[in-house]
Structure 1
């Protein structure tokens, strides 16, 4: 909420006595904060926890995690809430879109303040989560079905753009606004056309502490009230850690050049490692050097071998064709053994030497080659 919004709300004030409403004073055209530099974008938040939070540590930690470009300041409110002020709308939008956020495994419920919102009384019980949809049956894998599942979980916000881009994904992601005062939904049933039922499982990304007995965020199962009234702690719990969507281990910083992108869009700009490498001809059995001409983008490289006559016919790689080769063997030059071998003649002939691993039992032909 900008300062101009506050000015609009307070432009016309009426002051009255609490005990005697007849005693009042009307003050028109009140200006609040006439400085142009006093601009802010506000949000309010609360932590779902019963523990006492040290505000200086909380403010320092969240500012370090958020890293707002233009800075952030906070104020602790009497109702165990925090008034959060950003100095650029882009910082506030990024923080709200990249949630949910946690502090010491406690969920931070945040809400953007609009003109007229009271930070001390505004409702704070909805948080956006990325939810993974697992085990979706074949025949239900469509954007319409994914959106319907998001509506079942809560209020659908958006779906992941990579859900149907050709990736070999094992699940689908949907952004959902969830009421944290209610228990989490771990699965749902879907009925096929044949009349059979299929179970779809859910995994929540960045899920904080929640109860494995009641499925509500904010406390563990050992602090569950009903656990003190005759519930066997060894029973199978209806919820579990499997509802968390894996670990938060960061991806490798360096991109592996051998790993091909999954999406069709990224594949158009990706170059395979073998596209610029040297292709050896299968018909050539000697270890002579091979040269390759640098191909144009989208072309198959041309291979030229010194011992073969190669006439390549190159087509576009995108057309699915391969390079055609016409190979003709060259005759080797005969070298007189009585004639001294010079450096030039040595470079013109190929000598293939095969030595047994044990060094013994070499044939007469091999020994003759060694004598050369």
Structure 2
């Protein structure tokens, strides 16, 4: 006989007491499972459904993100083997994230979390930071809970020399369950003792309540913050001052691919200023009349401003910065200090 691949198949049990409408179920699952590809539902009767996924990865993803609920009741999921049928499906457990409250910071560690999980069920994961630390408002563990047993509300733990400490538990994404007996496969209205009494029991005597359901609005997520020394940002380059708006700069001449022919020797010769061997200081410019006039002429040339002149002024060739400084004269060091910053302390809590 041909053997089918069951890696893409899950069997689901809906613990609601009402007859499940397949169209409503498909709309609900499609809304909850938007991150996966198409899937197919087949009604198996007794609120049991066969789910066929497009890939094995999708079926494993749905299993890893349990628990799921429909109509606020738990959806039990079972992954069959190649030799199993619908009748072999067992819905006896469901994984939950459980918050362990009231532990002192000194006792919040993986070893204690694993010791406590033996009282709850099969441990699947301890929520810890990349450094292995799990301290916070509570310790968070993922446990495969037996749904045929009452939910655990808490436990006394041995603290050594001190009195035993009561640790309380809260369950994330907890669906409807019975406030009388703590079972997940029915609600308080289906509790046999309640129905046998004609609904005359005092609800103040209930041992469970909505307080067992953890809030999922502010689930603590550990984050490691590493601080590293950074190099200082270099200062921006010094720019030449912008001319006044009253001075209209002369447009730059466009490049002419055909240069004019060289002038004859009879034409007037333009004398170019030779770069000085050393750069004069401000005091030398102010104390020397010729240097001062030359410095003013250079500023006028930069601003294209030539007072008391109707003819084109003589062109003065300004030396580049590397010409102003001969090879044997070192440039002054004007850059800011780039000493590395001291490394700041790591913000991760230390044991």
Question: Alpha-carbon deviation of 1:200?
Answer: 0.8
Distance 1:57 1:208 in 2: 18
Following TM superposition, by how much is the alpha carbon of 1:235 offset from its aligned partner in structure 2, in angstroms?
2.0
Residue equivalent to 2:121: 154
Q: Which residue of 1 aligns with 2:45?
A: 78
SS in 2 for 1:235: helix
The CA deviation at 1:138 is: 4.2
Q: Does 1:119 align with 2:86?
A: yes
Q: Could you tell me which residue of structure 2 aligns to residue 268 of structure 1?
A: 226
Alignment partner of 1:52 is 2:19: yes
Q: Give the TM-score normalised by the residue count of structure 1.
A: 0.58
2:68 is the counterpart of 1:101: yes
* Matched position secondary structure for 1:77: strand
Call closer, same or farther: CA 1:69–1:187 in 2, change over 3 Å.
closer
Task: Give 3-state SS (helix, strand or coil) of 1:152's partner.
Answer: coil
Do the aligned residues in 1 keep the contact of 2:19 with 2:47 (CA within 8 Å)? no
Computing the radius of gyration over CA atoms, which structure comes out larger, 1 or 2? 2
Instruction: Give the length in aligned residue pairs.
Output: 246
Residue 154 of structure 1 deviates from its aligned partner by: 0.8
Offset at residue 231 of structure 1 (A) = 5.5
- In the other structure, the counterpart of 1:242 is 211
Partner of 1:182: 149
Q: Is the 8 A contact 1:40 1:87 kept in 2?
A: no
The CA distance in 1 between the partners of 2:150 and 2:130, in whole Å, is 27
| Cα separation, 2, equivalents of 1:313 and 1:68 | 50
- For residues 86 and 343 of structure 2, the distance between their equivalents in structure 1, rounded to whole angstroms, comes to 58
> What does the per-residue CA deviation read over 1:115-145, in whole Å, with 9 as the maximum and x for residues that have no partner?
1111233211211111111111344222111
CA distances 1:221-273 after superposition (whole Å, capped 9, x unpaired): 2442212428642424211111111145899xxxxxxxxx9522xx127x9xx
Name the SS of the counterpart of 2:45 in structure 1.
coil
When residues 42 and 234 of structure 1 are mapped into structure 2, their CA distance, relative to the original with a 3 A threshold, is closer
Asked if 1 retains the 8 angstrom alpha-carbon contact of 2:232 and 2:338, the reply is no
Higher relative contact order (CA 8 A, sep 6+): 2
Secondary structure, counterpart of 2:180 in structure 1: coil
Distance 2:144 2:66 in 1: 11
Q: Match for residue 346 of structure 1?
A: none
**Greater fraction of residues in strand:** 1
The answer to whether 1:196 aligns with 2:128 is: no
Gaps of 5+ in 1: 1-10, 12-30, 252-260, 272-296, 305-309, 321-372
Match of 2:340 among 295, 306, 315: 315
Q: Deviations over 1:339-361 (max 9, x none)?
A: xxxxxxxxxxxxxxxxxxxxxxx
Within the candidate set 214, 217, 225, 2:192 is matched to 225
2:265 aligned partner: none
- Secondary structure (helix, strand or coil) at the match of 1:153 reads coil
> Separation in 2 of the partners of 1:302 and 1:177?
57
Correspondent of 1:135 among 102, 106, 119: 102
Change (3 A) 1:198 1:262: same
Structure 2: unaligned runs, 5 residues or longer: 237-334, 346-351
Q: In the alignment, which residue of structure 1 is the partner of 2:77?
A: 110
CA spacing shift, 1:299–1:239, aligned 2, 3 Å: farther
Q: CA RMSD in A?
A: 3.2
Matches within 5 A, 1:216-365: 216-228=183-195, 229=197, 232-248=201-217, 263-264=223-224, 267-268=225-226, 298-299=230-231, 314-319=339-344
Shift of 1:69: 3.6
8 Å CA contact 1:168–1:262 kept in 2: the answer is no
